Amino acid sequence: MPQGLRVAESPTGAGRGVFATQPFAAGDEIERCPMLIAEEGNEEELEAGAVGYVFGWGDGQTALALGYGSLYNHSYSPNATTLETKDELVITATRDIAVGEEIYINYMGTAQEGVWFEVLD
């Protein structure tokens, strides 16, 4: 599993989240998450065992991030960012992250665009 990370219940009530077990400096790569990608028309197979953890990927594709990739919680004020490559989701710290701090990413732009779940932060 990824080094310097652990999964635990989020104090925000958002379910499980990813927490730092080592400090990360702004710009540090936190995790490279390989992706399981389903082409359009085959997404039901991927979603069957992972409802709520899969998301749109590329043009008409659905994906599941491996490692801890599907467990990072959302924030409109995240402390990490994502970069989507052809077959990976790369998580990088946008500011210094202390040991014990939950790592958040932004799922979808701005609050005005909305998300499909209740925002807790």
Nearest in space to 2 (alpha carbons), one of 25, 34, 30, 27: 30
In 1-121, which residue ranges form alpha helices assigned H by DSSP?
43-47
User: For residue 2, with 0-12 CB atoms within 10 Å meaning exposed, 13-18 middle and 19 or more buried, which class applies?
Assistant: middle
Structure confidence at residue 115 as a pLDDT band (50, 70, 90): very low
Query: What's the mean pLDDT when you consider all of the chain?
Result: 82
pLDDT above 70: residue 121: no
Residue with tokens 């082409």: 39
Q: Which domains does the chain have, with CATH numbers?
A: 5-105 (2.170.270.10)
pLDDT tens-digit profile of 53-70? 666 666 777 777 888 988
Cβ atoms of 54 and 43 closer than 8 Å? yes
